[in-house]
């Protein structure tokens, strides 16, 4: 059969507006269509793979069978536009806007301070909006489920949950006193002196929120209902440039299509085929969509079980199961119960709404969470073709390999039969993933056992695993040998041995973690063994006695509503009501961010003639470039040109970075180095041409990947930096104990939600250009473009409206990307846009430097540390970037809170063949201080003295001289420590944890308290300057520009508060447009928690200049209005424009003399965290965190607490889950949210309390405030050390005491393998030098 050449009209609605697309392209996603065709830019591109939720929309459809309208959230980056026929799409713009009226769901996230950079906010809004459309009063559990597919890198999630919890039926909010339950202080849990006069506990007033009125929602278009009811259902065709999409209605049509196009995939949710086409380059000329075939969408129940149509979405299956479980007798519903439980954690809510049950099965993915359960439950598949129908048993014979099954190419999976269970049948499922929610499992399992009646004799057994081979695998031989055995410890021992023999993982298995996966295989079976024993006992079958402390091994982690407190100092009683400094004001852009009206770089509309640029990067870690073959790429449709180093009109070397070129020339030194760039009419054309580029290499040696490689080859960038106090070597001789050790701290990807973006517009003369760029440092971008163009900075104007997250990753790298884009714009004479794909962003731009720390420590019997010698090795990558400054700051802060009398710290910057690493929040301090705390912890383990006592006895107690000979006063450090001990009820919690650990063998809890002393700012004076420009217009309105970049930290909000105070005008009079090198020249990077300090000083200075000019007029006419004063000043020819300049503090550091004054002031804090770990899987749950922060007198407590919570959560990610994985050849494997896991809403501590230290003042900074956005990240390590404490308890039960090694991050793999027990000791081990590992520790 030949394809029908005609194309049907695609009809759907967007925000109530009808869309008729006559040329629907199957390759076009809804996200692209919304942003580029309908100009609805509120829906954001975050990852392109459905893993971040930034592009979430609500899709609605009318079900003509039930005559009901269904609303579901979906990630628009995976939704083919062809799938939307007859549906209605609602985007964030359709929910509400500032032009009409905002919706309560937008208001609450904004006013609860749940929007910082704002890039994730529209997705959060749409997930919550969809939930409310389906259930106006959801439970907290439903709220957390709705947000499970959304990521946020800024807030730490707590304020988002707090704002949205006000909608929940189990929330007290808006029902009693109007105070949010997540902000309410539980007085009974606090001692009498914890709530003092002048203390505030309320960041927002829930009783001021608009009520939710479901009658005001956008209605489902009646036209679509009529279409569904009246129009004849027929097969539809949509033909694009390369692909034809066919949507049949009847099963017979589907079978006919499959017979004619056997290689065509069936696409129901596009959650498998879509990512394969996007990320793996898979191409399908024909795609068949079976979503309108009723036979594939029905669910039926019989006496034997339930039958699920293969196109049923996972959410639909879950909802049906939830209803069925209320009706089906428990003993018949065991398979359904297990399936339901597994569906709760499979992907995010949006993915479950889209993905189909049949697609999950047919994908034959090795990490499918459903296939092991369905196979173990002895499900059957009903398949059809033109040749007839047949039933296939879902077992190990069905799965032939990765993506392969025993189904014939022309067959269609119609339905899945799940049988009822029997009385003596037991079924369980297990999974362990890098993150609790929205993460592929490392290993999962489905297990089933049937006993002879009234006995524990096995009559049937089925065991299936995922994550242990190329597809789902079964332990058939093991199960056969277990039949007839008694369910007892002998059987357990035999089964574990047999399973390990049968399910064999080679040392080189893709995905790595081989020993961990082997351990999970038998740990899961042990859990199953315990579960079945408990159930047999309940059924009256005599069995081996289960130790009481084993029972919790079968339980899930405690789930509960997130409780929190935020306690801060109230404003002074005599502060003017008009003076808004110190008030917890909402972020000034929060409402616009919640409505999707806030503009980011890629939201700027395309210009006439605009081109798109895609980078071409190296595939070799160290090689000479033999040739660059452009011919095939240049012949491709839409390609305009390819730019290389030969096209650079100026310098190909970056400013200040003499070892870094714009384009690689002659050779490459890492995988991901930019060689050239393709410029085309569309981004799709540019991507295809980039893949067609042919680059020939000649590999070079050596290839240096790890710090150990660098040490061996002496591959360092510069001479080491060193600071020393006392006589370290002599002190070792007097110590009672001396030990040596080392610690690896992994790197971290910035994972800002907005990827690097730049638009360059050539002005047509004198090499003038406007550059719109996502940069923290527009001056550096300006200088980079000027240098590469061979012109001066006065011809290059850089503009930054706002940045969707940065964290240090947008300081240096945007300059290079802007330079490349500028070369393309200059060569073509047309505007050029470059927006990095998530995978390219992660590959090209680097991240936090991994550290290797080596140390030698001397301590006394009482725990006093008298000598320490520490060496840091940072993995900088293939260029220096800012890594020299990073190692310097790590050394400057190395002592943290500890007065170790003899202390030496040195640092080396390793030159390796990895993409160049760069600045990241904390700038080396989080890595360095983790190593310091690690050696302190080791002293505790070796001495037998509790860690908190070791920390306390070695702290600075009085004024002292730091390593660099600057005087230091620890009073606020000690206050923070004492208050944290008290407010966290540390010793009571520790006692309760000890009791818990005594009662639980396979679950352990741990606690840790960590101090923080952090020098804020830059150690080089020239980096502390800032400027501002303020205009007062004749109508009284005020325009403020300054050198700081708004990237979520609320700097613009604070600047407006400063102007309001200084000029004594309302905030409504003040506007901040953008940051531009055109208005404020020679800006300094917004970093180091210092941008508000210095830019605020400049804004303050400008305001005072203006105020001095206006004061005489005000004095003469005190009763007139602000507008009248301004008008009179204009009439008297008084300038209403002023610049403000702040020279900065005279900080310096002389490394030759090892002395300096690098910091103007210190920020202090302490943090106590409690965790629970599953010793059998390595999973953990953050139970409670209490943070005390010395914030001075906050300019805006809401913004500051948001920074604290967000930084802490990012630190939790760094230290417990965010793991970058590289091949031995330097290839980055973790290039998106599918592989790289940042914290999700479920990772928020169940009790999360933040206290701002009262009575703290900082006379050296703006209005006595302090910068704190960076320092708090380090306190996330309290979770790391709490995990260590829990592991130590587990090891103690195994008879192992003393120090043990735990690298950072403390992933589930590392936690599990550190909990040494009979299972970790039973697995086979491979000799380290006998194989090439899948990944290496960099």
Q: The tokens of 212 are what? A: 């939710």
Is 783 a known active-site residue? no
Q: How many CB atoms lie within 10 A of CB 559?
A: 12
Q: Compute the distance between CA of residue 932 and CA of residue 953 in angstroms, rounded to an integer.
A: 15
Tell me the three state secondary structure of residue 653. Answer: strand
Name 846's Cβ contacts closer than 8 Å, sequence gap at least 6: 809, 813, 877, 881, 914, 915, 916, 917, 918
The answer to whether residues 297 and 291 touch, using CB atoms and an 8 Å cutoff, is yes
**CA dist 631 → 59, 125, 687, 690 (Å):** 44, 47, 15, 12
DSSP 382-444: EEEETTEEEEEE-STTTEEETTEESS-TT-EEEEEEEEPP-TTEEEEEEEE-SSSSS---SEE
Q: In the structure encoding, which two tokens stand for residue 845, read together?
A: 């731009």
CA distance 830 to 761: 7
CB 633 within 8 A of CB 850: no
DSSP per-residue letters across 225-243 = HHHHHHSPP--EEEE-SS-
Q: Are the beta carbons of 1214 and 1305 closer than 8 angstroms?
A: yes
Count of beta carbons in the 10 Å neighbourhood of residue 861: 10
- Percentages of the chain per state (helix, strand, coil), in multiples of 5: 35, 25, 45
Contact 628, 695 (CB under 8 A): yes
For residue 1251, count other CB atoms closer than 10 A to its CB. 25
Query: How far is the C-alpha of 903 from the C-alpha of 895, rounded, in Å?
Result: 8
How far apart CA 541 and CA 532 sit, in angstroms, is 11
| Separation of alpha carbons 1085 and 809, rounded Å | 11
d(CA 819, CA 648): 9
Residue showing tokens 């065509």: 264
Indicate the DSSP class of residue 214.
G
Distances (CA, A) of 691 to 279, 611, 940, 1280: 12, 18, 55, 42
How many whole angstroms separate alpha carbon 785 and alpha carbon 793?
8
Name the pairing type of β-strands 623-629 and 694-699.
Answer: antiparallel
For residue 356, which phi and psi values (nearest 5 degrees)? -105, 155
Q: CA 989 from chain center: how many Å?
A: 30
Active-site annotation holder among 142, 1219, 1270, 1309: 1270
- Dihedral of the CA atoms 1066, 1068, 1069, 1075 (nearest 10)? 120
Which active-site residues does the annotation give? 1270
């Amino acid at each position: 059969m030949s394809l029908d050449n005609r194309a049907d009209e695609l009809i759907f609605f967007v925000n109530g507006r009808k869309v008729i697309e006559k040329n629907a392209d199957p390759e076009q996603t809804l996200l692209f269509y919304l942003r580029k065709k309908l100009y609805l830019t509120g829906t954001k591109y975050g990852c392109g793979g459905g893993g971040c939720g930034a592009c979430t929309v609500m899709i609605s459809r009318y079900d003509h069978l039930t005559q009901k309208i269904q609303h579901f959230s979906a990630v628009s980056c995976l939704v083919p536009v062809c799938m939307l026929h007859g549906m209605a799409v609602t985007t964030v713009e359709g929910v509400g806007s500032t032009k009409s009226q905002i919706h309560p769901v937008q208001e609450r996230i904004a006013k609860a301070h749940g929007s910082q950079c704002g890039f994730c906010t529209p997705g959060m809004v749409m997930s919550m909006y969809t939930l409310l459309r389906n259930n106006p009063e959801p439970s907290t559990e439903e709220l957390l489920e709705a947000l499970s597919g959304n990521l946020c890198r800024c807030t730490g999630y707590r304020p988002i949950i707090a704002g949205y919890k006000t909608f929940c039926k189990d929330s007290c909010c808006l029902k009693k006193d109007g105070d949010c339950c997540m902000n309410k202080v539980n007085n009974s849990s606090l001692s009498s002196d914890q709530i003092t006069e002048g203390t505030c506990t309320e960041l927002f007033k829930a009783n001021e929120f608009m009520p939710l009125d479901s009658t005001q929602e956008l209605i489902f278009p009646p036209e679509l209902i009529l279409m569904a009811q009246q129009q004849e259902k027929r097969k539809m065709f949509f033909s694009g440039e390369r692909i034809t999409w066919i949507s049949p209605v009847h099963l017979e049509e589907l079978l006919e299509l499959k017979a004619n196009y056997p290689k065509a995939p069936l696409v129901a949710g596009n959650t498998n085929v879509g990512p394969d086409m996007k990320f793996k380059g898979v191409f399908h000329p024909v795609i068949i969509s079976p979503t309108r075939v009723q036979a594939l969408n029905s669910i039926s129940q019989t006496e034997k079980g339930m039958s699920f149509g293969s196109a049923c979405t996972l959410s639909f299956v879950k909802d049906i199961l939830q209803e069925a479980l209320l009706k089906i007798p428990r003993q018949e519903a065991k398979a359904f119960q297990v399936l339901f439980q597994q569906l709760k954690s499979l992907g995010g809510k949006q993915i479950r709404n889209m993905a189909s049950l049949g697609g999950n099965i047919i994908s034959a993915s090795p990490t499918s969470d459903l296939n092991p359960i369905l196979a173990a439950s002895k499900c059957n598949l009903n398949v059809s073709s033109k040749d007839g129908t047949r039933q296939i048993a879902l077992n190990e014979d069905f799965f032939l390999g990765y993506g392969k099954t025993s189904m014939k190419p022309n067959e269609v999976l119609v339905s899945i039969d799940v049988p009822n269970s029997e009385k003596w049948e037991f079924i369980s499922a297990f999974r362990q993933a890098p993150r609790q929610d929205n993460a592929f499992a490392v290993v999962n399992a489905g297990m089933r056992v049937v006993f002879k009646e009234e006995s524990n004799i096995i009559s049937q057994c089925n065991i299936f695993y995922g994550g242990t081979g190329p597809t789902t695998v079964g332990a058939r031989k093991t199960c056969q040998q277990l039949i007839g055995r008694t369910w007892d410890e002998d059987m357990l021992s035999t089964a574990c041995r047999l399973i390990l023999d049968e399910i064999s993982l080679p040392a080189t298995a893709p995905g790595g973690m081989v020993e961990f996966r082997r351990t999970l295989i038998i740990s899961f079976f042990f859990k199953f063994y315990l579960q079945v024993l408990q159930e047999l006992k309940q059924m009256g079958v005599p069995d081996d006695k289960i130790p009481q402390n084993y029972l919790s091994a079968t339980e899930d982690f405690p789930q509960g509503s997130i409780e929190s407190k935020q306690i801060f100092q109230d404003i002074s009683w005599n502060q003017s009501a008009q003076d808004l400094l110190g008030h917890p004001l909402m972020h000034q852009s929060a409402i616009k961010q919640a409505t999707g009206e806030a503009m980011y770089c890629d939201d700027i509309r395309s210009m006439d003639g605009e081109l798109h640029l895609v980078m071409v990067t190296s595939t070799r870690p160290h090689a000479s470039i033999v040739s660059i073959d452009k011919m095939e790429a240049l012949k491709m449709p839409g390609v305009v040109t390819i730019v290389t180093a030969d096209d650079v009109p100026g310098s190909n070397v970056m400013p200040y970075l003499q070892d870094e070129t714009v384009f690689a020339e002659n050779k490459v030194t890492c995988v991901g180095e930019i060689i050239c760039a393709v410029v085309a009419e569309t981004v799709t054309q540019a991507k295809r041409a980039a893949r067609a580029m042919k680059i020939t290499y000649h590999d070079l040696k050596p290839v240096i990947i790890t710090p150990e490689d660098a040490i061996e080859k002496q591959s360092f960038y510069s001479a080491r930096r060193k600071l020393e106090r006392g006589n370290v070597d002599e002190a070792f001789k007097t110590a009672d104990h001396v030990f040596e050790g080392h610690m690896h701290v992994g790197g971290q990807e910035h994972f800002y939600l907005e990827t690097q973006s730049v638009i360059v517009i050539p002005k047509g003369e004198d090499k003038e250009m406007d550059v719109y760029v996502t940069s923290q440092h527009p001056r550096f971008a300006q200088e980079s473009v000027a240098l590469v163009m061979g012109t001066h900075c006065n011809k290059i104007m850089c503009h930054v409206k706002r940045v969707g997250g940065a964290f240090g990753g947008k300081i240096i790298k945007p300059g290079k990307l802007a330079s490349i884009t500028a070369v393309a714009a200059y060569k073509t004479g047309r505007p050029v846009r470059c927006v990095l794909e998530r995978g390219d962003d992660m590959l090209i731009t680097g991240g936090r430097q991994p550290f290797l720390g080596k140390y030698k420590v001397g301590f006394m019997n009482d725990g006093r540390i008298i000598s320490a010698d520490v060496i840091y090795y940072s993995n900088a990558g293939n260029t220096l970037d800012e890594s020299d400054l990073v190692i310097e700051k790590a050394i400057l802060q190395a002592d943290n809170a500890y007065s170790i009398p003899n202390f030496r710290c040195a640092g080396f910057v390793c030159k390796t063949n990895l993409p160049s690493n760069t600045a990241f929040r904390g700038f080396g301090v989080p890595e360095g201080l983790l190593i310091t705390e690690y050696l302190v912890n080791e002293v505790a383990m070796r001495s037998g003295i509790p860690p908190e006592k070791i920390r306390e006895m070695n702290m600075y107690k009085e004024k002292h001289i730091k390593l660099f000979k600057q005087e230091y006063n620890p009073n606020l450090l000690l206050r923070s420590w004492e208050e944290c001990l008290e407010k966290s009820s540390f010793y009571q919690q520790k006692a309760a944890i000890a009791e818990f650990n005594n009662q639980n063998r396979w679950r352990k809890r741990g606690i840790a308290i960590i101090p923080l002393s952090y020098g804020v700012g830059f150690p080089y004076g020239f980096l502390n300057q800032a400027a501002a420009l303020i205009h007062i217009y004749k109508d009284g309105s005020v325009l403020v520009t300054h050198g700081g970049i708004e990237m979520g930290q609320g700097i613009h909000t604070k600047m407006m508060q400063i102007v309001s105070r200084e000029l004594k005008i309302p905030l409504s009079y003040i506007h901040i447009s953008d940051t531009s090198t055109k208005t404020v020249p020679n800006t300094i990077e917004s970093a180091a928690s210092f941008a508000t300090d210095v830019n605020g000083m400049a804004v303050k200075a400008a305001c005072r200049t203006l105020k001095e000019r206006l004061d005489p007029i005000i004095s003469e006419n005190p009763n007139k209005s602000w507008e009248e004063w301004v008008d009179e000043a204009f009439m008297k020819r008084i300038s209403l424009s002023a610049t403000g300049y702040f020279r900065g503090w005279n900080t310096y550091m002389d490394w030759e003399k090892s002395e300096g004054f690098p910091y103007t002031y210190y920020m202090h804090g302490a943090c106590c965290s409690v965790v629970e770990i599953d010793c059998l899987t390595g999973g953990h749950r953050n139970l409670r965190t209490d943070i005390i922060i010395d914030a001075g007198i906050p300019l805006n407590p809401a913004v500051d607490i948001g920074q604290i919570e967000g930084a802490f959560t990012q630190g939790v990610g760094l230290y417990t889950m965010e793991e970058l994985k590289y091949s031995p050849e330097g290839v980055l494997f973790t290039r998106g949210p599918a592989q790289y896991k940042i914290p999700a809403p479920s990772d928020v501590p169940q009790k999360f309390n933040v206290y701002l230290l009262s009575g703290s003042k900082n006379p050296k900074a703006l209005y006595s405030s302090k910068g704190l956005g960076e320092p708090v990240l380090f306190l996330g390590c309290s979770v790391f050390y709490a995990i260590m404490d829990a592991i130590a308890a587990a090891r103690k039960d195994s008879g192992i005491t003393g120090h043990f090694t735990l690298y950072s991050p403390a992933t589930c793999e590392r936690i599990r393998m550190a909990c040494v027990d009979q299972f970790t000791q039973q697995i086979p081990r491979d000799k380290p030098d006998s194989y090439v590992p899948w990944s290496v520790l960099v």
